[in-house]
Chains A and B, each alone.
Chain A
Amino acid sequence: MWDQVKQALAQSTMRFLTRFANLLPGIAALIVALVLSVLLAWILAIIARRLLASLHFDERLGQWGFASLAEWSPMNSPTRLVSRSLATLVIVTGFLIGIAAFDFEWTYLLVQSVFAYIPNVLAALLVLLVGNIIARFLARSVVIGGVNLNLQYARLLSVGVKWLVIVLAVAMALEHLRIAPAVVQLAFGILFGGIVFALALAVGLGSKEFVTKSLERDAKKVSSEAVEDPLRHL
């Protein structure tokens, strides 16, 4: 009986050791891939940081209307945010390559699905970036145009337009990421419609006085024609 137990233990130990020995090349490959990717990430981060610093990236980003990005960045520097993101991307890629070296079916499938998902992530990021740029540009155009037309609700309009575009961009990005598409569609519809409705209400109520004034002005136009505006600009 004892001999049989000993034999069974020896066999399971043997199986464990065999499997562990089979894992060792994969672990070694993972460690090598990680070390190499960390090294590469460090070099790339330094290059990116120096390049962006020489281009005054932080200042330019502020000028392009992305000053708030500094608040989310490590040490309030978007340059560091970019260089660290790049380094993280390289390390994660190295880790995935290392995992693939285990030569198991599930690791292979995992790595394949992660790599297949990367274009979606990149497309979603691009959509978010472009959406953000368009939102800020339109918001500025609206606020400047609104102020020049003497609209008291210029700021409100500009914020509304900005959020409309951002919500649209976020919905498109989530669509690309294939995250709960049905929920995203529903939520987008509700949010978009809500913003438009809120803006319509705000502008409608706000412009009531404006419309009244303008109608009054039209009515008084005939009598005020005698008092012509003497200002000429060009």
Chain B
Amino acid sequence: MEVEPIPQEAQENIEQVDRADLVVGVLAHLDQDGLVIVCDALRTLSGSPRIAVLRDNHAASSAPANSDTVEKSASPFLIPWPLFRPDAPGMPAISMSTAYQAVFAAAERLEARACCVIASRLETVTPRWACRLAQPLLEEGVDLVVPHYARHKFEGLLNSSIISPLMRCLYGKQIHNPLGPDLGVSRRLFQKMLVTDSNAGVKGNRVHPLTSLVPAALCDNLQICEVHVGARVYPPTDWMNISSLVAQVLGPIFLDMERNAACWQKMRTSVPVSSFGEPVLVSQDTGTVDVTRMVESFQLGIRDLQEIWGLVLPPSTLFELRKLSRMSLEQFRMPDELWVRIVYDFALAHRLRTINRDHLLKSMTPLYLAWVASYANHLETAGAVALERRLEQLCSAYESGKAYLVSRWRWPDRFNP
């Protein structure tokens, strides 16, 4: 099997370890204490597996001296590795993608049975959560462990509005955080990802490991489970680059839809996946959300982007959007059915290359912000129960709209807007 080239500076370090049962890639910026907690947690895994922890070179540089070599006193072995940090400015999704491929390549080189990636700083770092990702892989024979973060109503909005409900309706499994980013992956699955990526790389169409993991596992009928890992600390919103973020996240998802069309068209309903651990409740109290900026962006889009949206959306949708743009801030509500159709129409336009793909995805941003404004208005004072009900309602809208997506996907000309 062709393994991703491992950086020269990491070659020697990895040869010193020789082999491992579990490889853990730490992409999150953990300090020395955090790293010690993770290692201690990993030592509690039953069967005393041989563990290699890949830690970022940048993090290592702040650690005590002698940190650029492998610390091989006992498992887990700490291997300094030039990983890209997920919070790298500019192109977060791309640097994440490279980092995940590097972890998979290292796991393959060390002939590991499984690998885990710890990419986010968790609010409640307990000794248990780090090994929760690894446990089902080593003990239950699960192929993919995805996190179930404690949900806060205004966090992970791209996930709540598009990623999770879309994946649920496409692939038939109710996964709350399909893009992780904290994940556990079995040998079978990471090998598949490495092969798929090298094949796709030849065609000039590289696979994004984060977005492709769940579809790849589900289409191959591999076993998936969720683990409750507490609340996640989300990076603050960079309003200047929100359109780039939308494009970087949705592009790979729409590409995967194209790749797995034969698989997702067969799925009809969705079922929950097995989960481990106890759910953690977080407070839903927030400050006031000012939706003015988002609604203004949408109204500007209605004024200036009609020409582009007209190539993607049918006239009925454009009519609904124009109606929406005339609503006052307090009454601003986007119906779920309308939002779902917009997402489906953009996915189809992405497949058909109706316009340049980057333009297409970036032109979706004002529509996404309109949905966020509507959602924020709806849930301003809502608690945890209302939040779950609201998101379930959205997922149902995605599932009921799937027939429309399948029809347009199969016969795009017949439904041409």
Contacts and interface: CB of A to CB of B under 8 A. Distances in A.
B359 A233 contact: no
A50 B48 CA distance: 70
Q: A141, A149, A233: which has the most chain B beta carbons within 10 Å?
A: A233
Contacts of A63: 311, 352-355
Nearest to B302: A147
Contacts of A152: 300
Interface stretch (B99-107, B136-144, B152-160, B197-205): B152-160
Contacts of B376: 231
A139 to B, nearest CB: 10
Contacts, number: 95
Interface string B159-195: 1000000000000000000000000000000000000
B245 A234 contact: yes
Given A143-B304, A143-B305, A155-B304, A148 B288 contact: no
Given A227-B287, A231-B289, A233-B245, A155 B303 contact: yes
Interface in B251-308: 286-290, 293, 296-297, 300-301, 303-305, 308
A150 B300 contact: yes
B363 A144 contact: yes
Contact of B236 (A143, A144, A154, A229): A229
Interface string B347-367: 000001111100100110110
Given A148-B243, A152-B300, A154-B304, A230 B356 contact: no
B300 A154 contact: yes
B305 A144 contact: yes
B242 interface: yes
Interface in A58-79: 62-63, 65
Given A65-B355, A230-B286, A147 B366 contact: yes
A203 to B, nearest CB: 15
Contacts of A232: 152, 154-157, 234-237
Given A147-B300, A150-B297, A233-B245, A140 B288 contact: no
Q: Using C-beta atoms within 8 Å of the partner chain, give the interface range for chain B.
A: 35 or more
A222 B376 CA distance: 25
A140 B356 CA distance: 10
A231 B154 contact: yes
A148 B353 contact: no
A151 B299 CA distance: 12
A63 B352 CA distance: 10
A145 interface: yes
Nearest to B372: A231
B385 interface: no
Interface string B216-236: 000000000000000000111
Contacts of B290: 229
29 contacts: A63-B352, A63-B353, A65-B355, A140-B356, A140-B359, A143-B304, A143-B308, A144-B308, A144-B359, A147-B365, A147-B366, A154-B304, A155-B303, A228-B287, A229-B290, A230-B155, A230-B287, A230-B289, A231-B155, A231-B289, A231-B376, A232-B152, A232-B154, A232-B156, A232-B234, A232-B237, A233-B158, A233-B245, A234-B158
